[in-house]
Amino acid sequence: MSVTVRVPAKVNVQLAVGAARPDGFHDLANVFLAVGLYDEVTVTPSPGGLRVTCEGPDAAQVPLDRTNLAARAVETLAARYGRTPDVHVHIVKDIPVAGGMAGGSADGAGALLACDALWGTGATREELLEICAELGSDVPFSLVGGVALGTGRGERLTVLEAGGTFHWVFAMAGRGLSTPAVFREFDRLAEGRDIPEPVASRDLLDALAEGDAEALAATVSNDLQPAALSLFPELADTLAAGRAAGALTGLVSGSGPTTAFLTRDAGTAEKVAQALGASGTCRSVRVASGPVVGAMVL
């Protein structure tokens, strides 16, 4: 018997970053939106013990050892419910790796939900969310999906309303960016400056609630973008190409280097995707809309 879970990627429509805390982490006000670009995680009992396999265009970059977030999720759930983590986890990966779209977090949430169903642990939603928060700041959102505000390190979630569907184009870059390296660059650029407390923008939350793409485009922001651009200056060309092609706005997704373009409607998204694909400023292009639901057993 196997269980398969489908988990969406995310884009941050707002990523407000506070000053580095004494523990090195940053307080965030992180508005996540789940988009229809998915990984599928299948777990099957494996008498030989825990193993991870992966297929997809970026599969070679995915670690298959115990550092894989899906493996860590299985081990954490097993330890908590007195099981042996003897499953084969197979990931069909469509979310770009190290792209700022929470691909690893998606697999963590997916493996957790799949094993929970396979083993019938009886864990409550709150218990699963607690394990997600232990695994990483973006993992709880991968479970929940939709639109949500993450505070603390991003893991304390408040579900938000969205009044419509937003149409996005994502441009994948030729190489990845490490999230810790981007935060270190943020700290370097922030030296000697006063960093305000991160708060969610009222105008942005209103735009989401109204499903108003133009108002959302006017309010999206990402405090990590200057750091990502500093480490990866060519992203400025991708952003310029997407805007010139008719996107309402473009921004770096999370810690990057994927860039996200918000468009007026599905037709414009297709046109922007074509133009970006032909621009020579990115490796590949995908169209996806959201919000969509979070991790779901198929």
- Catalytic residue positions, numbered: 10, 138
- Kindly write out the interface string for residues 46-65 of this chain, putting x where it contacts ligand ATP by CB under 6 A and - elsewhere: ----------------xx--
112 touching ligand ATP, by CB under 6 A: no
Is 294 one of the annotated binding-site residues?
no
Candidate ranges 103-111, 211-219, 240-248, 261-269; the one touching ligand ATP (CB under 6 A): 103-111
Which residues are within 8 A (CB) of 257 and not within 5 positions of it... i.e. 6 or more apart? 99, 100, 173, 175, 176, 177, 228, 232, 235
Token pair of 123 as six digits: 């864990």
Token pair of 260 as six digits: 């996200």
- Determine the Cα–Cα distance for residues 197 and 147; give it in Å rounded to an integer: 22
Closer Cβ to ligand ATP, 219 or 258, answer by number? 258
Is 146 one of the annotated binding-site residues?
no
Residue 288 DSSP SS3: strand
Q: Which residue, chain included where needed, has tokens 């735009």?
A: 207
- Applying CB under 6 A, what is the total number of residues that bind ligand ATP? 21
51-55 vs 147-151, strand pairing mode:
unpaired
Is 152 one of the annotated binding-site residues?
no
Is 97 one of the annotated binding-site residues?
yes
- Kindly write out the interface string for residues 65-84 of this chain, putting x where it contacts ligand ATP by CB under 6 A and - elsewhere: --xxxx--------------
Is the CB of residue 100 less than 8 Å from the CB of residue 177?
yes
At closest approach, how far in Å is the CB of 148 from ligand ATP? 14
Backbone angles phi, psi at 294, to 5 degrees: -80, -155
**Residues flagged as binding site for ATP:** 96-106
The residue ranges that bind ligand ATP (CB under 6 A) are 62-63, 67-70, 97-105, 107, 138, 176, 179, 254-255
**Residues flagged as binding site:** 96-106
